[in-house]
Chains A and B, each alone.
Chain A
């Protein structure tokens, strides 16, 4: 153990007079650390003799609590007392503090000014963020993820060889459209949801339902079961979404739910045929 570590440990222990064995071994062989310990012990012993300023906070609080109507009068008494006490420890500048009513008035004015400043600043902040968001609302964001994913699925369909591969890709197309409906449902002004519901129905009716019979019986459970699950979840999600949209605007989402249930029904029927 070197002197630096020993002295740090001496400062960190609660009582420098009571040292642990390893530290004691170092102190036995090191004069400067013994001196350091001596100073710390001396300091520790003198701390209880330091004068503690008298606090009137407790009695003041109790008095205020008991006699609330006298609060104002009380405050007038305590402030000069505090100023007088401050004057004894910090000099005449604090002792010459203004009288209590003036202080109260200034505090109210300061509070009012702070409120006014906060209001103006927040108004400016909200106003600028509003104008920014309106720009963001009108300007289309970067690349269109739906367009990119539909193109990706088309290119895969262009080289897909098996009916299983194709029906899975069509299910991905349907899911991409369904996901988009959840994004667009936040904007209740446009007729995008109607267009989307039409496309979704097309994919289910002329895509999945049309390709499904081409799947060999043996493969149907493995291929259809995940698709049935997917369509069921999509239908339930659309039904939940429809409840969140005003009734006069939720018919496209309900149409999507109906298309998904219809797709699920067709696949379930084909699956049971395979079993029979």
Chain B
């Protein structure tokens, strides 16, 4: 019998058993837990805001609730940019863009369509717009500082996303003003 062949086989078996015993939780689970911890504040705000949005019919108030989310995401984005965490900057930058264009701007547009041309509530639309601007200004400043002139930096792409979203916000209000202007003529 070639018993000497059993030596490597025995060694391999022993190693497999040892490796199996030392195996911890599946890889990535602890990473997900860390991710949950770092995003828990935003997750909590999203849940609370979702519950408020579900109970709200007024578009202007919905726009205002989305503005609250913009504020939270912008603050977190600013922090990520200060830490030069480009992956997080890119992720949160995209979320901020979506919030501005699909949340705030969409509801401002809907609110504008519901309001009469001469309503005092039009001021509310501009107030929401101004609040968004107050959230965006500091984060834009931080992104400019972090990204510098590096066109490849995630901050540059996010700055462009914010510019696009700002245009969207402006359009959602400008149309009302244009509409009012044409009626006045």
- A residues adjacent to B (C-beta < 8 A): 107-108, 110-112, 114-116, 118-119, 122-123, 126, 130, 133, 136-144, 146-148, 150-151, 153-155, 157-160, 166-167, 169-170, 173, 180, 183-184, 186-190, 192, 195-196, 199, 202-203, 206-207, 210-211
B179 interfacial contact with A, CB 8 Å: no
Q: A153 contacts B50, CB within 8 Å?
A: yes
Contacts of B46 in A (CB 8 A): 147, 150-151, 154
Contacts of A188 in B (CB 8 A): 25
Q: How many residues of B contact A (CB 8 A)?
A: 55
Known A-B contacts A147-B95, A192-B33; the reply to A186 vs B47 at CB < 8 A is: no
The total of Cβ contacts below 8 Å across the A-B interface reads 167
Contacts of A130 in B (CB 8 A): 22
Q: Which secondary structure dominates chain B's binding surface?
A: helix
Q: B25 contacts A151, CB within 8 Å?
A: no
Q: Apart from A137-B24, A170-B50, A173-B47, what 4 extra A-B contacts exist at CB < 8 Å? A: A112-B7, A154-B49, A180-B36, A207-B54
Known A-B contacts A146-B43, A153-B50, A169-B54; the reply to A158 vs B11 at CB < 8 A is: no
Q: A184 contacts B33, CB within 8 Å?
A: yes
Q: A155 contacts B102, CB within 8 Å?
A: yes
Say how far B114's CB is from chain A's closest CB, in angstroms: 13
A115, A122, A192 interface centre (most CB from chain B within 10 Å): A115
Contacts of A139 in B (CB 8 A): 31, 34
B115 interfacial contact with A, CB 8 Å: no
Q: List 30 A-B contacts (CB under 8 A).
A: A107-B4, A110-B4, A111-B5, A112-B4, A114-B7, A118-B11, A119-B11, A126-B15, A126-B22, A137-B31, A138-B34, A140-B32, A144-B91, A146-B39, A146-B43, A151-B98, A151-B99, A154-B49, A158-B62, A158-B65, A158-B106, A170-B50, A173-B50, A183-B32, A184-B36, A187-B25, A189-B33, A192-B33, A199-B47, A202-B48
Contacts of A140 in B (CB 8 A): 31-32, 34-35, 38
Q: B43 contacts A150, CB within 8 Å?
A: yes
Known A-B contacts A118-B11, A122-B15, A147-B95; the reply to A157 vs B54 at CB < 8 A is: yes
Q: A157 contacts B50, CB within 8 Å?
A: yes
B121 interfacial contact with A, CB 8 Å: no
Say how far A23's CB is from chain B's closest CB, in angstroms: 49
Known A-B contacts A151-B46, A170-B54, A206-B51; the reply to A158 vs B66 at CB < 8 A is: yes
B175 interfacial contact with A, CB 8 Å: no
